[in-house]
A and B are shown apart, each in its own frame.
Chain A
Amino acid sequence: MKSDITPMRMILYRLGLAIAILAAWEFASGRLVAEFFISKPSAILAAFERLIVSGNLFFHAGVTASEAFAGFLIGGTAGVVAGVLLGRSAFLADLLQPFILAFYSLPKIALAPLFVLWLGIGIWMKIVLTATVVFFLVFLNTFTGVRSVSRELVTIVRLMGANERHVLGKIVLPSAITWVFAGLRISVPYALIGAIVGELIAANRGLGFVLASASGQFDTAGVFAALIAIMILAFTLNGLVRLAERRLMPWKASEAAREVTI
């Protein structure tokens, strides 16, 4: 649903809202609520600046981003491959279903201590944790996508003489890709959860580590500064997925632009 307000005006309204919230925060801090608990925007900005100037921000954000990105890539790829395999093979899907359900219902974060035991507190523990979280989300979406492929379309190309490879490449994958991307998009915040929770549990670097150490020193402004950095990272990752989506599914843009008729 589109509102009637022009885009320019909407941006102004949003800016106004953001400024109002920040001003209220600044005012409330130390007057209505102790600054110790909520810090204040000006102090957070200063802490954020210190993080940037010292070069710490880019170092730690870089660590977290690589963990999230690597985990996202590994988990996403494995999820797509497994989703397609099980989606196309009723036997495999039947065989593995109870095992997958059992693993799926387990909160993946609870595996973190096990990964620490296996992999130590280095970057690989976070990557594997992230990949595990992302895998299930992408796998389930891909599986559903492959299963919901139009049987009519498959029949039509079979009549043209298509073999299994043609069906997969020309029908199944392109039609499941919408689902794959839905899975990838919801995975972005979870990839960051995996990386940051991993860092909170055991690490000596990364934004989760900055967050934990600022809170350990009762540095509320530092905690908020780390949160802002995490938010920016999430935004960037989301943007990248959207970009890939537009590149790989050009037909979606034309479908969205079309006037609705019934």
Chain B
Amino acid sequence: MTEDYLIAFRGVGKTFTVGDRTVEAVRGIDLDIRRGEFMTLVGPSGCGKSTLLNMTAGLFAPSTGSVQYDGAPVQGVNLRTGYMTQSDHLLPWRTVAANIQVPLEIQGRPRGEIRDKVAALMALVGLAGFERSYPSQLSGGMRKRAALARLLAYDPETLLLDEPFAALDAQLRLNMQMELLRLSRQLNKTVIFVTHDLDEAAALCDRCVVFSGRPGTIRAVLTSPLPRDRDLMRLRHDSRYVAMAAELWDMITPMLTQTRGEST
């Protein structure tokens, strides 16, 4: 029996032309991601992790190889994926509630349903009471939560998350991580999660892909020893988690000294 792969990278390479320089972002990527899997990507800056997300979303095509989604190559914008990046990309001219309802308006949902769903999502991410605030009136963490609520509003099958929690303080980040993990399990989402935080990568993943520096190639794929249902609050005391985080650190630190001074 074949495994149920949702996303498959087959010999994927991508070269960008910047001015008169060409930059090879990734090379020879072979990777399969199962339906419902939580995959974290770690590696030094500029090793092409975001490039893989962009290609999965269909924002651009690979230079070599192919990216398959649900058995067919990705062509054009991949509407079954939702994207959330480090910057929240909220619309500054809309209130928080109006921002969250953008995808529902696009789907042409009836007014009453939109209102109920927005209210539920606002409560879910802990923003109840801020419906009428504009993004400029919110803190960075609140904007991030609003962006997550908007992502969940249109309920894409696959979540592409590019350092979504990088700008949050430790407690808020833990809250968001628990929320994300709970929701992705509950709704059986497939998640590709790029992060620089190795502890975060170890805590959240089913599998973790370690990249080496530019051009990005896969150095190792680690499988998490943790159960799918896990308590992020108590991970610090879990020896399996500690061992996996340490293994990641050991892989990444030699690369850091290599690329020092080169990162943007």
A176 to chain B, nearest CB (A): 11
State which of A83-91, A114-122, A148-156, A194-202 sits at the interface with chain B: A148-156
Q: Is B154 an interface residue (CB 8 A)?
A: yes
Q: Which listed segment binds A: B17-25, B79-87, B217-225, B255-263? A: B79-87
| In contact, A158 and B77 (Cβ under 8 angstroms) | yes
* Pairwise interchain contact A254-B136, C-beta atoms closer than 8 A: yes
Stretch at the interface among A57-65, A159-167, A206-214: A159-167
Given A160-B106, A161-B107, A254-B137, A249-B77 contact (CB < 8 Å): no
Summarize A's interface: helix, strand, loop or mixed: helix
A contact residues around B137 at 8 Å (CB): 254, 258
Of the listed stretches B88-96, B174-182, B192-200, name the one at the interface; the rest are far from the partner chain: B88-96
Contact of B134 among A160, A161, A171, A254 (CB under 8 A): A254
Whole-angstrom CA separation of A219 from B241 in the bound complex: 93
Q: B105 an interface residue at 8 Å Cβ cutoff? A: yes
B89 interface neighbour in A153, A162, A166, Cβ under 8 Å: A153
The answer, yes or no, to whether A255 is at the interface (CB within 8 Å) is yes
20 intermolecular pairs with C-beta atoms under 8 Å apart:
A152-B89, A155-B77, A157-B102, A157-B106, A159-B57, A159-B79, A159-B81, A159-B156, A160-B82, A160-B154, A161-B79, A166-B106, A170-B102, A170-B105, A174-B91, A175-B91, A251-B134, A254-B133, A254-B136, A255-B136
B82 touches A159 (CB 8 A): yes
Q: A162-B106, A258-B137 are in contact. Are A156 and B89 (CB under 8 A)?
A: yes
**Residue contact A258 to B102, C-beta cutoff 8 Å:** no
The listed residue with most B CB atoms (<10 A of its CB), out of A159, A161, A162, A254, is: A159
1/0 per residue, CB under 8 A from B, across A234-259: the answer is 00000000000000011100110010
Q: Are A156 and B79 in contact (CB under 8 A)?
A: no
| Chain B proximity of A8: nearest CB distance (Å) | 30
| Minimum-distance CB pairs A-B, first 9 | A160-B103, A174-B93, A251-B134, A255-B136, A254-B134, A251-B93, A156-B89, A162-B106, A158-B77
Given the known interface contacts A254-B137, A255-B134, the answer about A175 and B89 at a Cβ–Cβ threshold of 8 Å is no
Nearest residue in A to B136 (C-beta to C-beta)?
A255
**Residue of B83, B92, B105, B107 touching A156 (CB-CB under 8 A):** B83
Complex interface bits, B61-104 against A, C-beta within 8 A gives 1, otherwise 0: 00000000000000001110111000101011110000000110
B59 within 8 Å of A by Cβ? yes
A171 pairs with B91, CB closer than 8 A: yes
CA distance A175 to B103 in the complex (A): 18
> Which residues of chain B have C-beta atoms less than 8 A from A166's C-beta?
105-106
B105-157 interface with A by 8 A CB criterion = 105-107, 133-134, 136-137, 154, 156
Is A258 within 8 A of B79, CB to CB? no
Establish whether residues A159 and B92, one from each chain, have CB atoms under 8 Å apart when the complex forms: no
Q: Chain B residues near A156 (CB, 8 Å)?
A: 83, 89
For B57, B81, B89, the residue with the greatest tally of chain A CB atoms inside 10 Å of its CB is: B89
Cβ–Cβ contact A153 & B77, under 8 A: no
* B41 CB, nearest partner CB in chain A, Å: 19
Q: In whole angstroms, what is the CA distance A51 to B136 when docked? A: 50
Question: Which B residues are CB-close (under 8 A) to A161?
Answer: 79, 103, 106-107, 154
Partner of B59, one of A155, A160, A162, A258: A155
For the complex, give the distance between the alpha carbons of A166 and B103 in Å.
10
A115 to chain B, nearest CB (A): 38
Nearest A residue (CB) for B78: A159
A254 and B92 CA atoms in complex are apart in Å by 10
- A159-B78, A249-B93 given; 6 more Cβ-contact pairs under 8 Å: A159-B81, A159-B156, A160-B102, A161-B154, A166-B105, A254-B134
Chain A proximity of B140: nearest CB distance (Å): 10
Which residue of chain B lies nearest to A152 when distances are taken between CB atoms in the complex? B89
Q: State in angstroms the CA–CA spacing of A155 and B77 once bound together.
A: 9
Complex CA gap A153/B91 in Å reads 8
Q: Which residues of B contact A160 (CB under 8 A)?
A: 82, 102-103, 106, 154
Residues of A with C-beta under 8 A to B91: 153, 170-171, 174-175
CA A92 to CA B32, docked complex, whole Å? 44
Question: Which positions 127-182 of chain A face chain B at CB distance < 8 Å?
Answer: 152-153, 155-162, 166, 170-171, 174-175, 177
